Amino acid sequence: MFSFFKKDPLKQLNKQYSAKLEQAMISQRNGDIKGYSQLTFEAEQILDKIKVIESKIS
């Protein structure tokens, strides 16, 4: 009945993905390669979740 009040999980995941990539870029520029690789890995996990949700929608 009130489905328009539900938040879009895909929108939230895209925001988290962009934030992780930005953090990874900053880490790489500061020379923290280990931190960069960890953040990139976390971003890839979020991207996998996004792909799963998109495949369910399509």
Q: How much is the pLDDT for 1? A: 53
pLDDT in tens, 19-45: 999 999 999 999 999 999 999 999 999
56 touches 9 (CB < 8 A): no
Residue 49 has pLDDT above 90, yes or no: yes
Residue ranges of the domains in the chain? 8-57
What length is written for the chain?
A: 58
Greater confidence (8 vs 18) lies with 18
Q: How much is the pLDDT for 3? A: 64
pLDDT in tens, 1-11: 566 667 888 99
Please state, rounded to an integer, the average pLDDT across all residues of the chain: 92
